[in-house]
Every structure is written in C-alpha cells, then in structure tokens.
Structure 1
Amino acid sequence: MISPLIKWDHSDDWYVTSYKMQKKITSGERIIELSLADDDYQYMAGHVIDGRNLLPATGYLTFVWQTVGLMKGELYTEISVVFQDVKFLRATTLPKEGIIELTVVVQKGTGRFEIVEGGVAVVTGYIHTTLNPCMEKMNPKLPEKNESEEMTCKDFYKELRLRGYNYDGLFKGVKSATTNGSRGTIAWSDNWVAFMDNMLQIQILGIDSRSLCVPTGIQKLVIDTTSHFNQIRAMPKNNNDFPVYAIRKLNLIVSGGVEIRGLKVSVIPRRKRGGDPVLESYKYVAHRDRAKMSLKEAVH
C-alpha cells in the first residue's frame, strides 16, 4: 500500500465559475439608495445640466426595468420591455455627498409604475414585457447616408455646452453626428443608461435653438435586448459603435435595439451666474485742471 505516501498538492489555487440565481422580489415595491460614492452609480456624476448634477431621465426608466426583472427573477438585460406614456414630473439633483432615496413601485396587473423621491412622484408611466418586440416597433425605413457626419465628438459636445449641457464620462458617447442632428454614431460602453441618454442628445442637437431643453415625456420606448446584443456580436472587434437616426417627421429615434417614439421636451430658463461683488467709488474731478475735490467741496 503506497496510498499514505501520496498527498494532494495544494500550492496552487484554481478558480471555478459560480452560478447564482437572480434574486426575486415578491412585491412590486423597491427602495433604491443612490450615492455617487457607490461604484454602481459613480458614472452619473458626468450627467451635469446647467451646472447641476441631475439624475438622467433614462436612469429612472432603467430602475423600473431592473425592478421588473427582480419581480420575474430574471436578469433585466435579458428581458425586452415596452414603456408607454412616460412622464417626467420633476428633476432629481444628485448631491456630491450623501444619499438620495428613491421608491420604485410597479403594479403587477396594469404595469403602471411610479418613482417617488421625498414623498413626491417624479416619474410615472406604464411598462410591460414582450416576447415579440419587433411587433411593438415602427421599424421605419432608415434614411440614406447622403450627408456626412461632419461634427466630431469635440464639436458635438462644444455645441451642447453652449446650450448648458456639461456632459462628461460615459455621457459623452456620441462620436460623430451630422450638423442637423439627423444621424450620428454612439459608442456602446455596456451601460444602458448612458447609451439611451446619448440617443436623446442627438434629438436635442436637432432643435434649432440654443435654449436649454429637458425631457418631460416619452410616448413609447421599446428595448429589444435580443436584437441589440445580436448586433453587438456581429460587430468587428474593438468597434462597438452603433449608428443612431433621428427621424423628425415621425418624432422617432432609433439605435441598436432601442426605439424612442414621441419624445417631449420643455425649455427651461438657465440659471443666472452670480458674479463676484464689485466695490466702486465715485470721485469728482475738476473739468479744467483735473484736480481732485471732495464731495463736500463739489456740493458747495
């Protein structure tokens, strides 16, 4: 018997894949604590409008999408969904320090959702899953590339900065665009919030005004995850760029597996910058010899 003389060699560590089931929630209510110090939300620090760090409109919708995934016990990125009659009622400012608490409520029967912050509703709408997202889309004929994308990434965000948008990080994902905002190219950074926000930026560029506009509603938003990831797999390596089209006649934005229909925006006044205080003094100078005189002498 030589078995007692043979021992296992434990000098090396070998890693194996660990599979975990997606968590499932029984109710349609979920509380989200948002902090820019959290690695999951740190990228939102790049969404700055008129000097304020605002929670992206597409961020609200992604939270609802995630909640639906938790209710079904599936990864939300594997579920195709349709949003309808979305209304953005109030903006949420993200503080540099501290936590913002959002309550997401989704009704199982009707699919109506509501996001509440500080006891006040900030976003409402409807959501439902779909096994055939192609039937939910308009699937229009995309315009031909007659006009070159002359605006580079630097040109594009310089124009938006003049309008009051100070995007940074993942929210500067538009790599090129036409001057009228009818077509562009968006980089895919494996982040749905930033990707859909970049789609909205193309629509903003097409508005013939340098006013500051914010989204207030979306008629319909279709997210076809299967089509989106199929397009990514068909792309060449190191080139995950999606073309984006803004069709004005249909009020439609299309890119990848996402179709945004009926975007509504409102013009808001820009904040007045408080300048540094200026201390002024008044001196009376003689008209001829330019000799200085006091106020008392000038009055008398």
Structure 2
Amino acid sequence: AQTVTYDLTQNPWKTLRDHVIRGQNLFPAVGFVHALWSGTSFMCNLEMLNFRIHTPLVISEIAKTVQMCLHKAGPNMELWDNDGKIRYASAYVQVSKSPPSAYPAPHKDKDISSIFEGMQFYNHIRRLGYEYGTNYQLIDCLNLKEAYFGKMPSLNWISYMDAMLHLHLVDGNSFGYPIGIDKIFFRENSLSHAPLWAVRPECNTIANDAILLQGLRMEYLPVQTHTYSIHQETFIEYGESDTAIDIKLLASLICRESRVFSLYQPLVSNDLLELADLLRDSKIMAENEAKVAPIILSEYSNIDVGEE
C-alpha cells in the first residue's frame, strides 16, 4: 500500500481547512480523485472510471495532516484509512485509448444579465450548507453554463477541480454531496497550463481543456420550500461584528426571512426607531413580498414574540 499525505499546515494543502460543509471540515470529494490520481504519478491522457465515494472523511480540528492508504490491484484502486477498516473511495484507472475532444473556451461577457459575481454565488450556496472560506472561493463569475476562476495564490488541483464542480450548484436549491463520477479524464497535469474556466455542456458534465468530469452523481437532501435568488444577494454572517449594517438592508432581510418580528417599547436607540419606521414602510414590504408587519409591544407586555 502507498501512503497519501496532505499537510494541512503548509501550502498548498492548508487551504483544505476552508472546505467547510454544514459546519464540518470535510475532505473534498475531488480530494479522493486527486489521491487516486497520485497513484499514477499524475499521468496525462488518463481516464478514471466509476469513481465512487464510500465514506466521507471529516478532518479533525486538531489534525495536522490527512493520511490515506492507496491500494492498487491492476487498474483497480482504493483508498482506505491507516487501519484498513474504512474504505473512502475507489475507481478503475487506465490510459485512455480514445481521448475525448477538448472543449473550446467560452466567450466571456460580464455585461449580460445571466452572469453572477462570485461573491453573490458563494453567499447563495452558503445558505444551502456550503460554507467555504475565502481561500476556497475561486470563482470570479459564472452562469448556468460556464464559470471563470480568479487567479488565487492558494490554487491547487483539489480546489481547482472543486471550483469546476461548483458550477453544478449555480441553480441548486438544496444541499447535495458528490458520491461519484462515472468518468474523469486528465488531459493536463500542470496547473500553470490549466485554463481558468469551465463549461457545463450537459447537466451532469463539467469540463475544460485540462479535465473532463462526466456523469456526476449527487446525493441530495430534500428540496427547500423557499428558493433563494443569488441576484444581488447579500449575506450577513452570524455573530457579533464591528461592521455597521445598513438599516434598510437589515429591514429588507427581516421582511424576507421572518414570519413574525417584534420590537419592544420604549425604542431608545435611533437605529431601532429607524428600523421600525422602515418595517412599517409599504414599499419595503412590497419589495420583499412580506406578508407580516412588525409588532410594536410595550415594555410590560407578556405577549409571546412569536417565531422568527
């Protein structure tokens, strides 16, 4: 068996700490692809068939490395934990006898309305559970069919392939995790030659000049009842912040996200007074299609404030 190690304290792999999924530091699905690829010394014109993830790997908060054992039996490869008790992933790997045609570069046009900025996109998918840190937000802009990556100093093959997969999430409305890819083709093994774009020619296929990811298999949670728009989306992180938030923005978010919102009198803060006035504003309510108005209660009231 061959040991595959990723050092989380050094570049380029310390960016894996920014791959946070639903509150957990999860080893990326394409990280298993990279680990299997390493067993071929990163050959080009190589195809990986029937790649499957059997067990996700959660990275411990105190871990300094991620280690796996790579087992090979001819073209069959498997990734196991060091104790040989947990099988993480498997695939059939061989040199391609008929390499697929390369996909042409798309024509980038940021002026068309279907292009979303990367920050809007990452704010949107954060609501679904993809809580990527800054070093893992590689997409500069995208639409339903193509994505463009920014030039990040932290770029590595895992984050690069994952950024390609993010194109599959642009129209998503529920959380999903990759459990397999039917065919992966490696045309290039140097990031310096890899293009900073990807296209989605078919629903479950994402590709560029360097890599083809065909037949993506996802496992989804139930669809959310409310579909969020990523156009002009703004995300406010939980917890305390020294950054002042625009009161109108806060009022809009409350109208959109809350079924019942209550304020108690006396409103001694000027910001709260302004917020109450905005929440009474019919224009704000109409913009957010709100169906409830704020309730102003006295300081002695025992009325339940309701649910958010």
TM-score computed with the length of structure 1 as normaliser: 0.64
* Structure 1 residues 215-226: aligned runs within 5 Å: 215-225=178-188
Deviation digits for residues 132-158 of structure 1 (CA, Å, limit 9, x no counterpart)? 7xx322546777768555311110100
Q: Please give the alpha-carbon distance, in whole angstroms, between the structure 2 residues aligned to 1:58 and 1:33.
A: 15
Aligned residues: 217
Q: Please give the alpha-carbon distance, in whole angstroms, between the structure 1 residues aligned to 2:9 and 2:104.
A: 43
Q: Please give the alpha-carbon distance, in whole angstroms, between the structure 2 residues aligned to 1:139 and 1:129.
A: 17
Question: What residue is the counterpart of 1:85 in the other structure?
Answer: 50
On the 8 A contact 2:8/2:66 being kept in 1, the answer is no
Question: What residue is the counterpart of 2:78 in the other structure?
Answer: 114
- The alpha-carbon deviation at position 168 of structure 1 amounts to 1.7
Q: Please give the alpha-carbon distance, in whole angstroms, between the structure 2 residues aligned to 1:215 and 1:65.
A: 18
- The alpha-carbon deviation at position 269 of structure 1 amounts to 7.0
Question: What residue is the counterpart of 2:177 in the other structure?
Answer: 214
Letter in 2 for 1:101: Q
Matched, 1:127 2:99: no
Letter in 2 for 1:92: L
Q: 1:205 to 1:212 in 2, by over 3 A?
A: same
Question: What residue is the counterpart of 1:254 in the other structure?
Answer: 207
Q: Please give the alpha-carbon distance, in whole angstroms, between the structure 1 residues aligned to 2:7 and 2:107.
A: 43
Q: Please give the alpha-carbon distance, in whole angstroms, between the structure 1 residues aligned to 2:18 and 2:189.
A: 28
TM-score computed with the length of structure 2 as normaliser: 0.62
On the 8 A contact 2:105/2:197 being kept in 1, the answer is no
On the 8 A contact 2:27/2:58 being kept in 1, the answer is yes
Deviation digits for residues 54-75 of structure 1 (CA, Å, limit 9, x no counterpart)? 0011111111111211xxxxxx
User: Sequence identity, in percent?
Assistant: 18
Structure 2 SS opposite 1:101: strand
Q: 1:144 to 1:40 in 2, by over 3 A?
A: closer
* Structure 1 residues 1-300: aligned runs within 5 Å: 29-34=1-6, 36-69=8-41, 76=42, 79-98=44-63, 99-107=65-73, 109=74, 111-117=75-81, 118=83, 119-130=85-96, 135-137=98-100, 139=102, 148=113, 150-178=115-143, 181-187=144-150, 189=152, 190-207=155-172, 209=173, 211-225=174-188, 230=193, 242-249=196-203, 251-268=204-221
- The alpha-carbon deviation at position 242 of structure 1 amounts to 1.9
On the 8 A contact 1:173/1:187 being kept in 2, the answer is yes
On the 8 A contact 1:43/1:169 being kept in 2, the answer is no
- The alpha-carbon deviation at position 182 of structure 1 amounts to 1.6
Q: Please give the alpha-carbon distance, in whole angstroms, between the structure 1 residues aligned to 2:189 and 2:32.
A: 22
On the 8 A contact 2:156/2:191 being kept in 1, the answer is no
